Structure 1
């Protein structure tokens, strides 16, 4: 197996009669790519940006499949369609649905054989790591951005390795594999933090400006920060369920 690891600039390249069967493309930019006469039988695509970027399209045989994909995911996960709610009541309902969904999935994961919550599928995060990333997402977008807490990041949070380049002090995060009980205790605190904030949120609060935690030069609204948390919650739930199903079949 040939592995290309590192910057490979193939923009505007033309690939003819190239065999990519069984290839695995990770963190690969295929935006705007065109495939003609391509055999894509059995191809699996996972692109969270496709689901969240306004105007994003994925055209297969002349049909934009994004609207169908969104509708199917909303059907599978009741409450997901609320993730872009604009008013306080709508956001409270959206969060209630997301939290309830995660709690059911957590119960299912804990009922699986020992070690399942720390098992990885295809090198992706384990279930426990995904929960830890939710902790970090809430700390980043609610604690750090909205509440403007300098010490918002809990050590149990799970960052991506490339976050270090975005100004994160990686020493904040604890090394090793925390016990799932400790992870769940912290996650419960963060869920409560979101719930409590939304309980008091008003329309004026949602409109209030904040600095983006990724780019302090860019101004965002409190509402948009909450939308990020909801999107992170639903997307990572999708990943978690996908991998739990894979583990259950192995």
Structure 2
């Protein structure tokens, strides 16, 4: 069973077609890069996946649950990291996670255990007592990923999670999330416009002007030079 299945999803913004019959599936334990230039439709698709709005047509299934027919069950199987930060910078790392745990119905020892495990998984345990405002951009992102894992989802969605970070931080976060997919069996959908975040053995979906241009293993799609292939497909600026 696919962890995430997107079938014929179509959406319009007024007269503009933002998504045109987008279809692909991602299996458990796979890191899937949703690669496309700015304006390709990545954020529109993430808005649909998180029920911020409903598509004009199509179907989304999350861990076997239809997003339209069983939204609560489907959403409960998802962890989400949005492009814009949603941390409370005045709280410590630990308090941020405990607050989010409470939103999921966890409290007391259970919340503490989940927060500690999630921070340890992302290499953030030693920073639990620090205020979020004191963290650098890379550590804030790790904290947001840890927070998204508190309820132990089956599917992890990340919308341009490395925007604004330096190259070393981007590489570290990408490596962490790859390990989550492999070691924890998570279904990962990672939206990006940066080719260097994609590994040859990743599942790759290239999205441009609302349409899927390519879908398969990144190494097979890009050959020896994924950057050149991506630019040729989309006409994006290098």
Q: Which TM-score bucket, shorter chain as reference? A: under 0.3
Relative contact order, higher structure (CA 8 A, sep 6+)? 2
Higher helix content, 1 or 2: 1
Instruction: Give the TM-score taking structure 1 as reference length.
Output: 0.26
Say which one has the larger Rg: 1
Higher strand content, 1 or 2: 2
Instruction: Give the TM-score taking structure 2 as reference length.
Output: 0.27
